[in-house]
């Protein structure tokens, strides 16, 4: 086995991937525009607003920069609790091996559609929608070496 990694993502890694996916999408753009609009409304109408409207303005201003991240963090905690324990990923010239306890799955390189390198992780896609996140903490000093190896293997199978 050329590479072998224990898959133990922590809550902050799950939080980061969810937040980065949100704010790279259309939803993230809408969140930013909404927050900017709420700040402009707050500045413009604060003096003339009654208590109920002021409460709505404060809620609107805090919704995406404060409340949304707290909710995503709570979701990440639940996601961590539901993740399988003891998953080990192995990689060699024939493909990827997924082990959990006495269960094993072999995924050849020609079934792995792509490998994605992000700022703090490498994602090995097992199909078009699902993948395995290997954080920098899991990869250690082998991140670049592993990414180049996996990228070469997936490209050579096309």
55-85, pLDDT tens digit by residue? Answer: 999 999 999 999 999 999 999 999 999 988 8
Domain with 31 in it: 11-82
Give the separation between CA 132 and CA 64, rounded to whole angstroms: 28
Residues 77, 120 within the same domain: no
Query: How many separate domains does the chain show?
Result: 2
Give the separation between CA 107 and CA 110, rounded to whole angstroms: 8
Rounded (10°) angle between helices 51-62 and 26-45: 150
Radius of gyration of the chain measured on its C-alpha atoms = 21
Of 66, 82, 98, which residue constitutes the final position of a domain?
Answer: 82
Q: Are 29 and 86 in contact (CB under 8 A)?
A: no
Of 82, 98, 113, which residue constitutes the final position of a domain?
Answer: 82
Residues 88, 152 within the same domain: yes
pTM above 0.95, yes or no: no
Residues 107, 120 within the same domain: yes
pLDDT in tens, 118-137: 888 999 998 888 889 999 99
Q: What is the chain's mean pLDDT, rounded?
A: 92
Of 54, 82, 110, which residue constitutes the final position of a domain?
Answer: 82
Give residue 100's region: left, alpha or beta (phi > 0; psi -120 to 50). beta
pLDDT tier at 156, thresholds 50, 70, 90 = low
Residues 145, 101 within the same domain: yes
Of 87, 83, 107, which Cα lies nearest the Cα of 97? Answer: 107
């Amino acid at each position: 086995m050329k590479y072998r990694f224990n898959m133990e993502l922590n809550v902050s890694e799950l939080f980061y991937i969810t937040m980065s996916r949100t704010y790279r999408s259309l939803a993230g753009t809408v969140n930013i525009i909404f927050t900017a609009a709420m700040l402009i409304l707050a500045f413009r109408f604060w003096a003339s607003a009654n208590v109920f409207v002021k409460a709505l303005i404060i809620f609107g201003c805090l919704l995406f920069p404060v409340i949304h991240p707290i909710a995503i963090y709570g979701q990440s905690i639940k996601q961590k609790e539901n993740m399988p324990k003891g998953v080990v990923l192995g990689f060699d010239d024939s493909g990827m091996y997924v082990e959990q306890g006495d269960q094993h799955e072999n995924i050849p390189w020609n079934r792995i559609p792509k490998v994605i390198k992000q700022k703090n992780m490498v994602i090995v896609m097992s199909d078009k929608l699902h993948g395995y996140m290997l954080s920098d903490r899991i990869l250690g000093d082998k991140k670049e070496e592993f990414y180049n190896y996996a990228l070469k293997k997936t490209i050579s199978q096309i």
